Structure 1
């Protein structure tokens, strides 16, 4: 597998995890996001960023699948990457949330005791505890970023089904069929099996959208980007995306073009940018899971505008994410071959 300094993946993840904070700064200050307005609701900074996370994840996790010796090893590596930072976040949240509680006793609130197990389940995400952030411009929500983790983990499980075929000469065709099926459901049948998936708290509209981008990333694992990775190709794809927005066809066009553009940029080795991961670590996951909580805490005390909230929360969140990577996430990676 390529070293961190050989591509731009860490940089892209950091940029778009930061874009999620920007996106959240609008509703958390009681404002509408202008990007969604100017695109007629076709996308916002947050939704675009999450789509890109799933593209990169699909590409990198499929690579991990190919290098994993057993299914247990593959699942263990996914759990090890996802859970340690999340567990620490949940414990920190339970420690600090009583300081923001407005009521008789937070320890008598049932939601306080279910907050950790529900969110560690990934699927039964709990956003509220009575008496917390109820006077904020965006009231009650503690950590709105956690919603996507269940969809991410679901795609990890989907790739498990491909494990027996990973060395097959037909693996490309299998992934292609999975992508076509997901894309078709996303465009034409977004409510297909909605009652079934509701049992595990998944919304099929989100599931089919994110699975389409994830599988597009996995499919592009088989592409040799160096053969056509040039400025002309990247600009052409960008123009196609802007045209799709103008003609309100982004939903149809983006799954076919955005993954290619992102992975063309991601697989480049750009001076200075490619070394960010080595210098600071892969802090994007920490930025993503800590950002919303930091923003709500700031809004609990201060009357900030969108720009102020974005800047202050990014500074604080980067610091927390740096600590998370170097003292939690990175140390745990030495156990990735334990199973």
Structure 2
């Protein structure tokens, strides 16, 4: 009995989460960002109607699957970040420093480099248009994004759109606020956690029923996006707040796969798949392939890959008209990789390190924030 308890304890999510950098989440995130790049190669090369990978098999694209993985991971680590922060200001600073420095730089690169190279307008006309200068503040707003720049990508198969990946950032930030609110209420209480997540599930079910009856998501893309992304983030939050009760084992993963197969042709498939996907993400992230842990010493290139991929792919499609999805990937991927590496080492990592000075002003944090937060 004691041996069984030791095995269960050693495989628990709570123990795994306290192993610092001994995880695969940097690698998982960069793989997900690369999957978004691969998925976007099809509409950027062939147009918005192009069939993307996995869309026929799972009913979602490879890119959407990757975004779900991002939100699952983020739900866990943002909840952890709040629990280990020195306070609300420290938590908000961490989120701002993770999100905005790279976003500012990629927006400026898009305006000042990609735009002038690819625009059909004379350079003077391009820089005289007000929309050129509105692009940066609209991007930083996250909500009121500007699709295009003057004369840029007008002849592309996927026309106008300059950075079609940024739309998810608004929902990510909304989820950050939700995670902080939930974590502040729960405060390590299992009873409060149960009440909170039951209430969230009930609210989501009520919203889904209203949507089914009145077709609300058909009239509101924002509502549809919330319905798609928030459950993944909440799944990550649940794994964090119940980490002491969750055991990571491959046999459990196989058991969770059975409902996915059984419900594959029903309305419950997406819910079953999300539970399975979440478990797989944390099993791989925390409890599998320890020889890959050394990747964490390299850096976290996922965010740079995510924000640079779309404009670079559009630029390649503009310069090389008629390029295939495979050719687009081969040309764009090395450029994006180089930019993401530069973004991490020159922009993102220095910005995150500046948080140390803010923490010194706020006082000693309750616990050191680990990799992934």
**1:299 equivalent in alignment to 2:320:** no
Counterpart for residue 176 of structure 1: 197
**1:53 equivalent in alignment to 2:70:** yes
Q: Displacement of 1:304 after TM fit?
A: 1.9
Gap change, CA 1:232 and 1:316, over 3 Å in 2: same
Counterpart for residue 38 of structure 1: 57
Q: Contact (CA 8 Å) 1:133, 1:141: kept in 2 or not?
A: yes
2:158 aligned to 129, 138, 141, which one? Answer: 138
2:120 aligned to 70, 83, 102, which one? Answer: 102
Name the CA distance, whole Å, in 2 between partners of 1:127 and 1:176. Answer: 36
**1:21 equivalent in alignment to 2:42:** no
Q: Displacement of 1:107 after TM fit?
A: 1.7
Q: Displacement of 1:210 after TM fit?
A: 1.2
Compare 96-105 and 21-30 and name the one that shifted more: 96-105
Q: Displacement of 1:311 after TM fit?
A: 2.9
Q: Contact (CA 8 Å) 2:309, 2:332: kept in 1 or not?
A: yes
Name the CA distance, whole Å, in 2 between partners of 1:273 and 1:187. Answer: 40
**1:262 equivalent in alignment to 2:302:** no
Name the CA distance, whole Å, in 1 between partners of 2:308 and 2:19. Answer: 26
Name the CA distance, whole Å, in 1 between partners of 2:261 and 2:31. Answer: 20
Gap change, CA 1:185 and 1:331, over 3 Å in 2: farther
Structure 1 residue ranges without an equivalent (≥5): none
Q: Contact (CA 8 Å) 2:118, 2:319: kept in 1 or not?
A: no
Gap change, CA 1:34 and 1:54, over 3 Å in 2: closer
1:105-149: CA deviation from partner (whole Å, max 9, x where unpaired): 112222211100001011111111231011111111100000000
1:154-209: CA deviation from partner (whole Å, max 9, x where unpaired): 111112323542525244224423541454256434489979x97xxx71111132
Q: Which has the larger radius of gyration?
A: 2
1:308 aligned to 314, 327, 351, which one? Answer: 327
Gap change, CA 1:181 and 1:256, over 3 Å in 2: farther
Name the CA distance, whole Å, in 1 between partners of 2:246 and 2:205. Answer: 29
Q: Contact (CA 8 Å) 1:193, 1:204: kept in 2 or not?
A: no
Counterpart for residue 188 of structure 1: 209
Q: Contact (CA 8 Å) 1:58, 1:216: kept in 2 or not?
A: yes
Q: Contact (CA 8 Å) 1:54, 1:213: kept in 2 or not?
A: yes
Compute the TM-score of the two structures, normalised by the length of structure 1: 0.89
Counterpart for residue 128 of structure 1: 148
Structure 2 residue ranges without an equivalent (≥5): 1-16, 363-373
> What is the count of residue pairs matched by the alignment?
332
Name the CA distance, whole Å, in 1 between partners of 2:134 and 2:153. Answer: 18
Name the CA distance, whole Å, in 1 between partners of 2:116 and 2:241. Answer: 50
Name the CA distance, whole Å, in 2 between partners of 1:108 and 1:331. Answer: 34
- Please tell me the root mean square deviation across aligned C-alpha atoms, in Å: 2.6
Name the CA distance, whole Å, in 1 between partners of 2:260 and 2:292. Answer: 24
Q: Contact (CA 8 Å) 1:125, 1:147: kept in 2 or not?
A: yes
